[in-house]
Amino acid sequence: MKTQVAIIGGGPSGLLLSQLLHQHGIDSVVLERKTRDYVLGRIRAGVLEQGLVRLMEEAGCADRLHAEGFTHDGTQISYGDEMFRVDFAALTGKPVVVYGQTEVTRDLYDAREKAGGALVFNVEDVVIHDAETDNPRVTYRVGGKAEEIRCDFVAGCDGFHGVSRKTIPDTVRREYEKVYPYGWLGILSRTRPVNDELIYANSERGFALCSMRNERLSRYYIQCPLSDRVEDWSDTAFWEELKRRIPADQAARLETGPSIEKSIAPLRSFVTEPMRWGRLFLCGDAAHIVPPTGAKGLNTAASDVHYLHNALRDYYASGSSAGIDAYSEKALARVWKTERFSWWFSSLMHRAPDQTPFDHKMQLAELAFLRSNRAAQQAMAECYVGLPY
């Protein structure tokens, strides 16, 4: 098989890249390790920056997003029973949009299938060959049969555990990582959200987040030890603990119900450099991971796709390699700023096991400063709604 761009990974970043390339007449093949249903079964964050919304519009996939997404002009931050609002619209002139990552992925799958895009599922034993040359190729197996794709470029959108990052030699690749000493226990429930906006809560008992997918579907999280298991937490225990971590007036109106999904996610910050080796480019979780505080994972992957699809468009339109040569530097400059925000926000809102009384007082002072200082709120708001590409 021959194509212009081989894309490894059929999640939202790989699909968005494929669809954007299609809009500019550039062929691609997407290889996915699992099935479409499996990918759509993943529960992920649903706060979209305006940059991602614009990319979905450019990809021709934003109709349902605009019809069903919820525009949020701010967010709520609480500590103890104190709560204050950061007004994104007033501080930046921009909102965020609450629309589930699963729905973004569904819209992109529908668009690629409607366009007759090449999507190959259940692939195994993927190997990237000759990425450092002008003639890369990808081999894999599907249904027990060996296959090969010859291509001009390879885009690695296959996540932290994929083959793409590991294809870059150890002598070239440098990795940076911070593993946080706690996780997030999250549930999805068919209940009304407790608030019209997200609530990020710092409490004596640990962090909590009140989020939503729509008017009848809520997503809640509480900080938990990494040693906890999902089986350790009944629905009743989760709801009671959540109530203890959010302001009393919010807890009083919290609607509870059976969970329809429950999971524990560890938190880490991770970046690999460079994001390009020869004709192999890394996008999204293949190159970087952020803790979920502030919902930057999908949005940062989208910024990678922005830089890469424009670079490839220029290459095929004019033969210019300036964009692909600058891809890693441009993408990483934004990645590290996003990593800083996610690290700062996580450190501000969580209680680490080794936190000292001094550390706690510094958190409270930082929260009080954020509450009272417009410049501090503006800096937070600019990062939350999305830094420019």
79, 109, 182, 384: the active-site residue: 384
Nearest CA to 77 among 293, 352, 375? 293
Catalytic annotation present for 296:
yes
374-385 vs 322-349: helix crossing angle, rounded to 10: 130
Answer yes or no: 200 catalytic: yes
String of DSSP letters for 344-384: HHHHHH---TT--HHHHHHHHHHHHHHHH-HHHHHHHHHHH
Q: Looking at 215-291, which runs of residues are DSSP E strands?
A: 217-224, 259-273, 276-277, 280-282, 288-289
For this structure, is 94 an active site residue? no
Rounded to whole angstroms, how far apart are CA atoms 354 and 352? 5
CA distances from 193 to 167, 238, 290 (A): 43, 16, 25
Are residues 17 and 28 in contact, defined by beta-carbon separation less than 8 angstroms?
yes
User: Are the beta carbons of 138 and 1 closer than 8 angstroms?
Assistant: no
d(CA 193, CA 250): 10
Dist. CA 163–CA 280, nearest whole Å: 11
Give the ranges where the chain is alpha helix by DSSP (H).
12-23, 36-40, 50-58, 63-68, 88-92, 101-114, 163-167, 235-245, 248-252, 297-318, 322-349, 357-372, 374-385
Q: Contacts for 85-89 with beta carbons within 8 Å, 24 or more apart? A: 85/197, 86/370, 86/377, 86/380, 86/381, 86/384, 87/377, 87/381, 88/381, 88/384, 88/385
The residue from 99, 109, 200, 221 that is catalytic is 200
Distance CA 208, CA 102 (A): 22
Annotated active-site residue in 296, 306, 309, 330:
296
109 in catalytic set: no
Catalytic residue among 292, 306, 309, 350: 292
- Greatest Cα pair distance in the chain: 63
**Catalytic-labelled residue, pool 72, 306, 309, 330:** 72
Residue recorded with tokens 């911070």: 178
- The CA dihedral of 286, 291, 296, 302, to the nearest 10 degrees, is 0
Please choose, from the candidates 327, 385, 382, 286, the residue with its C-alpha nearest in 3D space to the C-alpha of residue 52: 385
Q: Is 220 a catalytic residue?
A: no
Active-site residue set = 72, 200, 292, 296, 384
